[in-house]
Structure 1
Amino acid sequence: MNKADILQRVIDRLNIDLDIARRAAQTAYEAATHEENIAENKYDTLGLEASYLAAGQARRVEEIRQALASCQNWTLKPFDESRGIQTGDLVVLEADNGQSQYLFIAPDAAGLKVHANDTPITVITPRAPLGQNLLGKAEGDLVEITINGARQSFEVTRVM
């Protein structure tokens, strides 16, 4: 797998998400400002609810725009064994049950999922608990994290 290809897939996905979010924000804004949504009494809250939705959609557009800018303005570097895992690395973790997962550590866009060669790759950031635990690690190292009160252990099986 090629990290540059994965980063481009993340950028492409963010562009799609941004377009969808912009259209949703515009629709919510139009609903909030439409003359039929003017409150006729104190119990008529349709316009108020629409304005809350419009504000939330506008925040979502801004979050995606910032994530997109972070990814577009970021330079990938090859994995440096002396520094260990850093932002920009593609990491393969294996759980105790033998199941593997691919993680791409990006500057933003946490939680985004992309596919490369029919393999799902989850984007995480160094700010996430798992991302923090991975920084500086190398192949063969163990990483532990608590998820919903349960301690889980993963082995770093590959870093690209």
Structure 2
Amino acid sequence: MNKQHFIEYLKFALEAKLQEAVQAANSAREDATHEQSAAETQYDSLSIESAYLAQGQSERVDDAHKAIKAFDSIYELCPSESIVIGSLVSCENEEGDIFWYFIGPTEGGLKLDIKNTVVWTITPASPLGKVLMNKKVHDEFEWTMHGATQEFEITKIL
């Protein structure tokens, strides 16, 4: 796995998420201000619901901008011997299955498929992030996946 290559995919995914949020916010704003959204009776709540949706979508746009800014600050961090924010980590279980994780400042749960390799973004606040933080190559840890506790070894930190 090439970390620089991963970062390019991540930047693209964050930009795509921002564009999706912008489009949704624009659409919700148009719906909220459309003449058919005007209340016809005191019980007609369509315009209020549309306004709330537009506000929520605008907050998604703000969150996407904040995420891009937060990630921009970690792209240039030098590799570390231990897992920190900005580390790209490979873990191997007892069966030889390899799992890749990127420790990000935000956007936990973001899944990237890079040349048939899945990389999950996790945060230090997540349960797995808490376990991984500050560990080093060859450190082992237990983790429950799919209802079964497995032993993992950290094989790479990029």
For Structure 1 versus Structure 2, the TM-score category normalised by the shorter chain is: 0.7 to 0.9
Residues 152 and 32 of structure 1, relative CA distance in 2, 3 Å threshold? farther
Tell me how many residue pairs correspond in the alignment: 158
Q: State whether residues 4 and 76 of structure 1, in contact with CA within 8 Å, keep that contact through their aligned partners in structure 2.
A: no
| Aligned with residue 126 of structure 1, among 121, 124, 147 | 124
Q: State whether residues 64 and 109 of structure 1, in contact with CA within 8 Å, keep that contact through their aligned partners in structure 2.
A: no
Task: Note the aligned Cα RMSD (angstroms).
Answer: 2.3
TM-score normalised by L of structure 1:
0.84
Deviation (angstroms), 1:86: 1.1
CA distance in 1, matches of 2:141, 2:51: 44
Gaps of 5+ in 2: none
Counterpart residue type for residue 111 of structure 1: G
Deviation (angstroms), 1:32: 1.0
Matched, 1:141 2:139: yes
CA distance in 2, matches of 1:97, 1:59: 43
1:97-122 Cα offsets, whole Å, 9 max, x none, are 54321101122222212232321111
Deviation (angstroms), 1:42: 3.2
2:29 alignment partner, SS class: helix
TM-score normalised by L of structure 2:
0.85
Gaps of 5+ in 1: none
Counterpart residue type for residue 154 of structure 1: F
Deviation (angstroms), 1:150: 7.4
CA distance in 1, matches of 2:24, 2:149: 39
Matched, 1:12 2:4: no
